Structure 1
Amino acid sequence: MKIVRFQYAGEVRYGVHEDDSVRLAEGTPFSGWKLVDERVAPGEVRLLAPCEPSKVVCIGLNYVDHAAELNMALPDEPLMFLKPPTAVCGPGDTIVYPAMTGNLHYEAELGIVIGGRAKDIPEDEALGCVLGYTCANDVTARDLQARDGQWTRCKSFDTFMPLGPCIETVFEPDNAAIRLTLNGEERQSSNISNFIFKVPRLVSFVSQVMTLLPGDVIITGTPPGIGPMERGDSVRVEIEGIGALENPVG
């Protein structure tokens, strides 16, 4: 099921993308909802970020092939940092290139969308806390990252957390191709089978640190090939079985 959040007839609604239409819903998938009989064409809605997280929990260095690219040892436990909800934007939204940076990078990632409140969850129960999965782009001001020595400023500008186009509830979190193209040219390509820490471990680990709330997102690290974007570029994240998230840079 591809859950979408969108603007339609002046309202923000949830629904399900089915075949060539969007079936509308009453309520949200996080607080009780019901699909209704009304359907509209995809062109009649403007897709938004598929959820409104209270926080985005980010995992660094989580691909074996990315660690090899950087000549770094594999970490013993997940490395976490946060992005604020104000960084979130949706499909088609412009990634704003801040005047404060001169080196803006893309990072294609799988996003885990949490379905209900979760705290201290064992690994063998972790997938039960997941509503579904989405595409993410962990936009980063790389020069500020090097200058600051920590990652809050470089990761947290408005529009630095594109999410979308949907929440896919039927997805194999151990094996799916992930790629990123910039202006149609492939820059990143891997498979989530190369994760160092798998989805259950990540959800369990994060929940032992902080309470996860409905709609929160965990992004799971990026594969090899990170690099710069410029104003006027178009960046596209594609994950097999979920879809594609495309954003202009301006």
Structure 2
Amino acid sequence: MVRLQIVGGGRMGEALLAGLLGAGWAEASELAVVERLDARRRDLAEGFPGVAVLERPTACEGAVLAVKPTDAAETAQEIALAGARRVLSIAAGVTTGALEAALGAGIAVVRAMPNTPAVVGAGASAIAGGISAGDDDLDWAASVLDAVGVVVRVSEGQLDAVTGLSGSGPAYVFLVAESLIEAGVLVGLSREVAEVLAVQTLLGSGRLLESSDEHAAALRAGVTSPGGTTAAGLHALESGGLRAAILDAVKAATERSRELGR
């Protein structure tokens, strides 16, 4: 019996595996990854020596369900038959109720919504427990996802809002980055220089926001001198409806997540 098996060796499954090993959460011999595709199994075996790379689920203390939503129920049944004691699911839109029905009684379920920056150890995840999940199960799930970023706890009903904000959020940020680069080219910078400056501006601003005791609005005010260049730029953004557009984007993504869940 392995300590943890990750069922699904895609990008997120691989990121979790790398994060758990890098954080010292477990030894390689305590972990397994389950992947159906032969070529992908070979890549995982080469990249993670000592980790069991399997075609089918095996007996484990806990499992991470990291498959496509359409495969979640069938895969959950296989995990249950293999003897898993608790399951952390990152299958988008699949409710804890659906997973509990597929797994059967006696297996705790925690549902999570991570985002793609987890592949570089900078993810934002939210978790919600099913009916049979206790505090120890939530602590366990949080410890797994802590290896690839930060974790917050919410009710399951709030996971659609999490999807709208942080699940889809990287795409919003990438669009801002793309726009800043194009703007740099517009005002005379080479594309290479504009890209370096735009990416580092986003990265540095995020780090400053994370490390500061001040809220985003206060940090923005600190950069904005009366009548200065930043004030002029912010006026243009507000006139163009940037704030409203972001609000609408998160709301639309949240509503779409609810539709898909139904």
**Does TM, scored on the shorter chain, surpass 0.5?**
no
Q: Which has the higher helix share?
A: 2
- Greater Rg over alpha carbons, structure: 2
* Structure with the larger RCO, 1 or 2 (CA within 8 Å, 6+ apart): 1
Q: Which has the higher strand share?
A: 1
TM-score using structure 2 length: 0.22
